[in-house]
Amino acid sequence: MTIFYGMNFCRKVVQPFRAMATNAQFKFLEMPNGNKIAFEKVEGSSNLPTVMFVPGFMSGKDGDKPKHLREYCINRNYTFIRYDPTCIGESLGDWKSLEFQDWVENAGTILENSGSEKNIVIGSSMGGWISLCLASQEKYKDRIQSLILIAPALNFLRPFYAEIVRKLPEEARDILDRGEIYQIKDEYGVKPLKKSFAENSANFEIDLDKTISVSCPVKILHGVADDTVPYKNSLGIMERLETEEVEVIYRKEAGHRFVEEESLMMIESSLEHFIHKE
């Protein structure tokens, strides 16, 4: 296992990438429950692994990182997949029935139906948690060649919910206890809050007291200035992963979103390593 500390790891490895945008062609994949997931698959070389992006909480295919990676992959002829989870972006659904399980199943269904035999899965924040869930399942192990986890937010939903509810007025807590949805506002906009969504995520929590059954190579990228997910959490993940091919790479200046130019270069460098790994 290797740990890199610092902020200049990939300064000279991959130059900043700036490509002209091309028109996106979105399709819809029907889930077993009838929901339709909006996704885009940009076709590249069939001789190279497919790159798939798993978004973070309340995010989807149009976030800064997947849009950047899309253009980067187009420029290098890599096949790339991005998507909107149920109830996010162009993927329809009903928040009243939505559970965390749906988002895990979204990622698995996209991987199974649109991925190739060899896939590099990039999971950001909550997407890192979902990516580890997939890579630890026998159903997907052989399809995931490697993982890139960006500020992985494992098991965060129940503590996140509890912290928010603690600050809410009694009226709001009563609404949630009745199983209804309560809208909260933060710096990023309005988000629906639902008690069962948080509580039922316990079924997918990864036990960090045990070995995480992931056998593929993993790179974990994390900003030391992350005020959402403590960067030292990534050390705990590394220690529990079954695979010995693990690198934890820190950028001192980076925050949780990991979208600064140098952070994007670090993602690119990690991707290049796995794309050409024999």
Q: Are residues 122 and 50 in the same domain?
A: yes
**204, 226, 241 - which closes a domain:** 204
Write down the pLDDT at residue 13: 33
**175, 204, 233 - which closes a domain:** 204
Burial class (CB in 10 A: 0-12, 13-18, 19+), 90: middle
Burial class (CB in 10 A: 0-12, 13-18, 19+), 22: exposed
Q: Are residues 80 and 198 in the same domain?
A: no
Q: Are residues 170 and 78 in the same domain?
A: no
Q: Are residues 11 and 95 in the same domain?
A: yes
Q: Are residues 119 and 170 in the same domain?
A: no
Vertex 147: Cα angle to 80 and 113 (nearest 5): 45
Write down the pLDDT at residue 17: 36
Within the chain, strands assigned E span 2-4, 27-30, 36-42, 50-54, 80-83, 119-124, 144-150, 182-186, 189-193, 218-223, 246-251
Tokens of 18: 């700036």
Write down the pLDDT at residue 23: 65
Q: Are residues 34 and 168 in the same domain?
A: no
Residue ranges, the chain, pLDDT below 50 = 2-21
Q: Identify the CATH number of the domain in which residue 104 sits.
A: 3.40.50.1820
Q: Are residues 31 and 147 in the same domain?
A: yes
Q: Are residues 111 and 226 in the same domain?
A: yes
Write down the pLDDT at residue 277: 80
Query: What is the pTM for the complete model shown?
Result: 0.90
Q: Are residues 60 and 165 in the same domain?
A: no
Q: Are residues 143 and 241 in the same domain?
A: yes
Cα dist. 166→58, 170, 172, 176, 198 in Å? 21, 9, 10, 12, 14
* Contact (Cβ atoms closer than 8 angstroms) between residue 41 and residue 80: yes
Write down the pLDDT at residue 130: 98
pLDDT in tens, 13-35: 333 333 334 567 899 999 988 89
Residue position matching structure tokens 């091919």: 245
Structural domain that includes position 32: 2-155+205-275
Q: Are residues 219 and 163 in the same domain?
A: no
Residue 8: how many other CB atoms lie within 10 Å: 10
**204, 238, 261 - which closes a domain:** 204
DSSP 8-state assignment for residue 219 = E
Vertex 43: Cα angle to 39 and 44 (nearest 5): 140
The number of domains in the chain is: 2
CA nearest to 128, candidates 118, 136, 117? 136
* Contact (Cβ atoms closer than 8 angstroms) between residue 9 and residue 265: no
Q: Are residues 115 and 43 in the same domain?
A: yes
